[in-house]
Amino acid sequence: PDFTDEMEHILVAIYSYIIISNFLVPMYSFILRLQQENQVGMKKHLNILGLSFKAQTLALFVSYTAEITILSVLIFSLIGLGGLFKKSMSGCPLLLFLFIWIHGISSFGFVFMISSLVPRSMFPKVAGMWGTLLYFGSTF
């Protein structure tokens, strides 16, 4: 008899949807914030005040990395408590956490690419929705 777990096949089919849906809202909010900063000209004002471009970029990267780390810990704990990946959680749970975290960090670069394609005149909410749809569409 074949003792295969049907739940594993189902999870493999929907895992990408689970991970992507968890990062849709942070991507939308981050694109929205970048677009609002571009429209206001926040970087120019901060340069006038003496804050260098490197410091601005570093602060942006640190804040986004902190957000993604907190979100990844939350997703990882929900996966662990829900018992979705029993074999992965018993074998090497750090790998699953790293996969979720690296996916979130790589979406950071994608957000910067999308924000450079969006014109300044576009409304921030429209830019956020457009960028989120582009992210969702590019994943599949």
**pLDDT per residue over 76-129, tens digit each?**
888 777 776 676 666 777 888 898 899 888 888 888 888 777 777 778 788 888
H or E element, residue 92: none
By the 8 A CB rule, do 91 and 98 touch?
no
What stretches of 1-140 show up as alpha helix (H) in DSSP?
Answer: 6-40, 42-48, 53-82, 86-91, 93-117, 124-139
**pLDDT per residue over 37-79, tens digit each?**
877 777 787 788 888 888 888 888 899 899 999 998 998 888 7
User: Distance between CA 11 and CA 27 in Å, rounded?
Assistant: 24
By the 8 A CB rule, do 118 and 131 touch?
yes
